[in-house]
């Protein structure tokens, strides 16, 4: 059994500096803010330091968990690719990541990131705030990011609005979860652009969709009608995820 912690920042916040791998993986007191099949995300506040801890636990052995890079390492590397590409968005600051393997098989892992001050989930911002004065500026910023991604030929998986954070007052976008990122025009056409457009259809008004079509069609490799058809494969699943996110957010508000 091997365990390692990789520091990706000069120093961790004081509350995290002396914790072992096991203590990080089991630290109590965090508020659960998101969850998936193998992951849990917790929000911790220690004085002036606010951090998100994402924990992965793998109960079943899968070839993805053997010999391959861990998800947390891929997320860290891919976010830095986004930063290097100069797309006009920020990335979250990952402070550290760690992983545990039994021989070559990944058992669990984590990454610790600094919370974005005054940041909001883009998907919740658009769902819950139809009349916010910053909304149009946020939409335009989002579409400018999409144009840069298209022009770069980057294939980014998980290009969903739940994986973007917005600071409304400064209209600053942060990317927080990128499982795959490389220059692959074919994959970008097949997956990245339709993923993004499925969220435009889900979260944006008809007027905002028309604005998106006008800004993106000149740089897209196909027409908006073709993009609309390609986005259908993602739309129903994203609608379910939106409903789940809204329901989970209501539970958080109650508590």
pLDDT digits (tens, 9 = 90+) for 188-228: 999 999 999 999 999 999 999 999 999 999 999 999 999 99
The rounded distance, in Å, linking the Cα atoms of 246 and 239 is: 11
Q: What is the pLDDT of residue 35?
A: 80
Place of tokens 């490799």: 221
For residue 233, the Cα-to-chain-centroid distance in whole angstroms is 20
The terminus-to-terminus CA distance of the chain in angstroms comes to 39
Helix (H) or strand (E) segment spanning residue 40: strand 39-46
Read off the pTM. Answer: 0.90
- Across 54-63, 144-153, 246-255, the highest mean pLDDT is recorded for 144-153
Backbone angle region of 103, left / alpha / beta, with phi > 0 → left and psi within -120 to 50 → alpha = left
pLDDT score for 67 = 63
Tokens 């998106």 label which residue? 212
Q: Where are the domains of the chain?
A: 2-114, 120-254
Chain centroid offset of residue 214 CA: 26
CB atoms within 10 A of CB 104: 10
Topology of domain 2-114 in CATH is: Phosphorylase Kinase; domain 1 (3.30.200)
**4-20: string of b/e by CB count within 10 Å (b at 16+)?**
eeeebeeebbeebeebe
Mean pLDDT of the chain: 91
CATH class belonging to 120-254: mainly alpha
């Amino acid at each position: 059994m091997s365990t390692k912690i990789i520091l990706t920042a000069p120093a961790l916040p004081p509350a995290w500096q002396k914790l072992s791998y096991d203590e990080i993986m089991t630290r109590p007191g965090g508020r659960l803010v998101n969850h998936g099949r193998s992951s849990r995300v917790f929000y911790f506040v220690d004085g002036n330091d606010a951090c998100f801890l994402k924990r992965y636990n793998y109960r079943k052995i899968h070839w993805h968990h053997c010999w391959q890079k861990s998800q947390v390492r891929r997320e860290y590397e891919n976010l830095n690719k986004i930063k290097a590409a100069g797309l006009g968005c920020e990335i979250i600051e990952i402070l550290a990541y760690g992983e545990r393997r039994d021989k070559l098989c990944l058992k669990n892992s984590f990454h610790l990131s600094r919370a974005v001050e005054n940041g909001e989930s883009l998907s919740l911002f658009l769902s819950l705030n139809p009349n916010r004065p910053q909304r149009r500026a946020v939409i335009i910023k989002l579409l400018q990011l999409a144009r840069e991604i298209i022009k770069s030929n980057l294939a980014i998986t998980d290009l969903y609005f739940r994986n973007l954070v917005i600071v409304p007052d400064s209209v600053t976008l942060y990317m927080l979860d990128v499982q795959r990122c490389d220059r692959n025009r074919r994959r970008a056409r097949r997956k990245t652009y339709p993923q993004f457009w499925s969220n435009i259809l889900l979260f944006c008004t008809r007027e905002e969709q028309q604005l998106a079509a006008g800004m993106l069609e000149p740089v897209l490799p196909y027409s908006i009608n073709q993009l609309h058809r390609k986005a259908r494969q993602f739309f129903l699943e994203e609608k379910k995820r939106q409903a789940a996110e809204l329901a989970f957010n209501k539970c958080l508000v109650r508590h």
